[in-house]
Chains A and B, each alone.
Chain A
Amino acid sequence: MAAGEAQSREYLRRHRLPELLQRLGALLLFHRPERPREFLIQVLERVRAGRRAEGEFPFLLDEANVDAMFSLLDVLGQGHIRPAQYREALKTLGLSTDDLELADDVKITRRVFKKGMRKKMLESWSVY
């Protein structure tokens, strides 16, 4: 059934389902709810709401987490991190680093970091 299979793969790719399922899995394993079905329903409903700009997408990291992440990266407490670290952080979270044009000596402050993260996460969810 090669045609059927090609069709199915195309469908998966078009709606970005593998990534979605991966995120759902990550959310489940991170939060470990008692009732996974209800949890998944809530998450999907939030995605739906986010799509209609009615609410927030279910981000894996909230603001406190992003803050903590920055503090981890900024070991010396200088208040800024290097672009290379920023790129790494994005990659760890599975966010794209394609359109980052930053010179290597620019200092990424906490605010810039948080804003950049948020923007990337929003982008990644908005395809749904």
Chain B
Amino acid sequence: MAEAEEEEDAAPARPPPAGIYAEEQGLFQLLQNMLEELLIHKPDDPIEFMINHLKQNNDDAPRICVLGPPASGKTTVAMWLCKHFNAIRVSQETLLFKEVLMQTEEAKAYKERNQKIPNALWANLIQERLSNVDCIKQIPEFGEERDGFESASLLLIFQHGLGLQGAAHLALRQQQNLCLQGSFMLYASDTVLIERSGGKRLDPLTQEVFHTTFDWPSDPLVQQRLVKPEDLSEQEVSKKLLEYHRNFPDIFHIYQKVLKSINADQPSVDVLSQVLAFVQTRHRSDAPFTPRILFLGPPGSGKSLQAALIAQKYDVINICCGQLLKEAVADNTKLGELIKPYIDSGCPVPDKLVLKLLTERLSALDCLSNGWVLSGFPRDVEQGEQLQKAQINPNRVFFFHLPYESIMERLSQRRTDPVTGERYHITFRPAPTPEIQARLRQNPRDEEENIERRLNIYHSNVKALEDFYQDAFYVNADQDPYVIFEFIESCIIKPLPCKKH
């Protein structure tokens, strides 16, 4: 489908406040969603349509399609999702029995006569159901309103079925131009399915599906109510399976871009957790993104290494706090002169000076347009708060975790060659010749007692920092650096998971 160019990424040097504002508010996504809806529906009066669309405010509401063969657990999953998201479930049964739509009578008549309900009829029923007010504006139970607008959710189950086949799906897609946000498909081998369907039991009151072996209800009242659903003989089920396999390739073809397959032959909690994780991940958007990354962790955890890797690959500016201070002193800048006495005497540089230096550096044009990665600051919550007050807000925060022994191992064996300046490690990166080895020296910072001291300071501050940065990612730093790098990369690139539900 054609998409117009978005203006946010047209200007080469955006004035920074506008860029940050756009990012925070998700403007790109907002406008893109609106454009998508416009193109799908092509209303004659776009202005009116846009006003209504914005009022609905249902961009984040899930529109999910659950597909799968009989006995794969669609109803169970769908009901659970509905409860979790406070959404509406649409399926064959609900369309025929629960809702009273205009064409329900007609559909029922077909069923009475034991005839297959024509696809067009199904498509119409679904369309009607979806355009019903509560699918578009679901009134939350307690009358609460979010931001003054009621947001809506919609959850669909399309089961295999004698009524809905590939053709129906095609008709459906074209007729309503459903903008489905995510469909997933439960799969399992035929033998498993046939076995499972033997134990299926239905609760006539709530329409919930249970199983004699895998999912037995704990409430004795419910237990007594359960009935065996009709058309459950093995023959029937095999027939349904056959039909499903016949139609499935078409359906798969239609939904394939947004379809995710989930193995249904697992304990139900696993299936549910996978489903939830999938539904909550937002798809990667094309919105322009300036990374502002924070690396926090004990000394020796690899922060500077990872920062250097990220800076190199993504062209962001690498800022190491310690380095910055030393550079300031070396360059003899005004601030550098103020900092010098502290560094010389080994005392920690006061926060105010460090902050001033940092703000200056981070507001430089290259940091603003390319993004930055900062390691070694803040060391405690106060510094973090001051950073926030200075309007420097990271959009990705990482905490490196490393057990005590590994830290000691890594740090206490660090050596430097005073002649070349090369850094070596006794175990992991030994010096090549005995000659060099002989002259290696250890930085007093890396002596055991000093390491202990630094670690203690770190640990006393880290809990508060973790509370301060709620949305942080936790990195297991006790791995191969490239493994860590890939993990960090994936966290930066994927949009932050949808937290609303």
For B35, B54, B55, B147, which residue has the most chain A Cβ atoms within 10 angstroms? B54
Q: Is the CB of A24 within 8 A of B31?
A: yes
Interface segment out of the listed A45-53, A82-90, A97-105:
A45-53
- A8 contact from B2, B25, B50, B149, Cβ within 8 A: B2
Q: How far is the CB of B175 from chain A (nearest CB, A)?
A: 14
Across the interface, which residues of A come within 8 angstroms of B5, CB to CB? 18
For chain A, residues 17 to 64, give those with C-beta under 8 angstroms from any C-beta of chain B: 17-18, 20-22, 24-26, 28-30, 32, 35-38, 40-41, 44-45, 47-48, 51
- B47 contact from A4, A5, A48, Cβ within 8 A: A48
Q: Is the CB of B22 within 8 A of A40?
A: no
Q: Is the CB of B31 within 8 A of A15?
A: no
Interface segment out of the listed B38-46, B103-111, B270-278:
B38-46
- B7 contact from A8, A21, A35, Cβ within 8 A: A21
Across the interface, which residues of A come within 8 angstroms of B34, CB to CB? 21
Tally of contact residues, A, Cβ under 8 A? 33
Q: Is the CB of B47 within 8 A of A8?
A: no
User: Is the C-beta of B1 less than 8 angstroms from some C-beta in chain A?
Assistant: yes
Across the interface, which residues of B come within 8 angstroms of A24, CB to CB? 31
User: Is the C-beta of B476 less than 8 angstroms from some C-beta in chain A?
Assistant: no
> How far does the alpha carbon of A113 sit from the alpha carbon of B223 in the complex, in Å?
82
- B55 contact from A20, A30, A41, Cβ within 8 A: A41
> How far does the alpha carbon of A12 sit from the alpha carbon of B35 in the complex, in Å?
10
User: Is the C-beta of A111 less than 8 angstroms from some C-beta in chain B?
Assistant: no
Q: Is the CB of B39 within 8 A of A25?
A: no
Q: Is the CB of A47 within 8 A of B31?
A: no
Across the interface, which residues of B come within 8 angstroms of A8, CB to CB? 1-2, 39, 42
Across the interface, which residues of B come within 8 angstroms of A40, CB to CB? 30, 50, 54
> How far does the alpha carbon of A105 sit from the alpha carbon of B379 in the complex, in Å?
66
With A21-B7, A37-B57, A51-B47 known as contacts, the answer to whether A32 contacts B42 (CB < 8 A) is: no
Q: Is the CB of B22 within 8 A of A29?
A: yes
Minimum CB distance partner of B18 in chain A: A29
Minimum CB distance partner of B1 in chain A: A8
For chain B, residues 10 to 67, give those with C-beta under 8 angstroms from any C-beta of chain A: 17-18, 21-22, 25, 27, 30-31, 34-35, 38-39, 42, 46-48, 50-51, 54-55, 57
- A25 contact from B6, B47, B147, Cβ within 8 A: B6
Q: How far is the CB of A125 from chain B (nearest CB, A)?
A: 11
Q: Is the CB of A25 within 8 A of B51?
A: no
Q: Is the CB of A9 within 8 A of B54?
A: no
Q: Is the CB of B4 within 8 A of A17?
A: yes
Q: Is the CB of B7 within 8 A of A44?
A: no
> How far does the alpha carbon of A36 sit from the alpha carbon of B18 in the complex, in Å?
13
Q: How far is the CB of B30 from chain A (nearest CB, A)?
A: 6
With A21-B7, A25-B8 known as contacts, the answer to whether A36 contacts B27 (CB < 8 A) is: yes
Q: Is the interface of B mostly helix, strand, loop or mixed?
A: helix
Minimum CB distance partner of A33 in chain B: B25
Q: Is the CB of A36 within 8 A of B1?
A: no
Q: Is the CB of B6 within 8 A of A48?
A: no
Q: Is the CB of A17 within 8 A of B54?
A: no
> How far does the alpha carbon of A128 sit from the alpha carbon of B44 in the complex, in Å?
12
Q: How far is the CB of A62 from chain B (nearest CB, A)?
A: 19
- A12 contact from B18, B21, B25, B39, Cβ within 8 A: B39
With A22-B7, A41-B55 known as contacts, the answer to whether A128 contacts B47 (CB < 8 A) is: yes
> How far does the alpha carbon of A36 sit from the alpha carbon of B30 in the complex, in Å?
9
> How far does the alpha carbon of A9 sit from the alpha carbon of B254 in the complex, in Å?
23
For chain A, residues 57 to 115, give those with C-beta under 8 angstroms from any C-beta of chain B: none
Q: Is the CB of A25 within 8 A of B27?
A: yes
Q: Is the CB of B39 within 8 A of A11?
A: yes
> How far does the alpha carbon of A126 sit from the alpha carbon of B5 in the complex, in Å?
23
Across the interface, which residues of A come within 8 angstroms of B2, CB to CB? 5, 8-9, 12
> How far does the alpha carbon of A24 sit from the alpha carbon of B47 in the complex, in Å?
12
- A44 contact from B1, B30, B50, B147, Cβ within 8 A: B50
Q: Is the CB of B54 within 8 A of A18?
A: no
For B17, B27, B48, B57, which residue has the most chain A Cβ atoms within 10 angstroms? B27
Minimum CB distance partner of A7 in chain B: B42
Across the interface, which residues of B come within 8 angstroms of A9, CB to CB? 2
With A24-B31, A29-B22 known as contacts, the answer to whether A41 contacts B7 (CB < 8 A) is: no
Across the interface, which residues of B come within 8 angstroms of A128, CB to CB? 47
Q: List 14 A-B contacts (CB under 8 A).
A: A1-B1, A5-B1, A5-B2, A9-B2, A11-B39, A11-B42, A12-B4, A21-B6, A25-B7, A25-B8, A32-B21, A37-B57, A40-B30, A44-B50
Interface residues of B (CB under 8 A from A): 1-2, 4-8, 17-18, 21-22, 25, 27, 30-31, 34-35, 38-39, 42, 46-48, 50-51, 54-55, 57, 147-149
Interface residues of A (CB under 8 A from B): 1, 4-5, 7-9, 11-12, 15, 17-18, 20-22, 24-26, 28-30, 32, 35-38, 40-41, 44-45, 47-48, 51, 128
Q: Which 4 A-B pairs have the closest CB atoms?
A: A18-B4, A25-B7, A29-B18, A8-B2
10 more CB-based (< 8 A) A-B contacts, given A17-B35, A41-B55, A44-B47? A5-B1, A22-B7, A26-B7, A32-B17, A35-B147, A36-B27, A40-B54, A44-B54, A48-B47, A48-B48
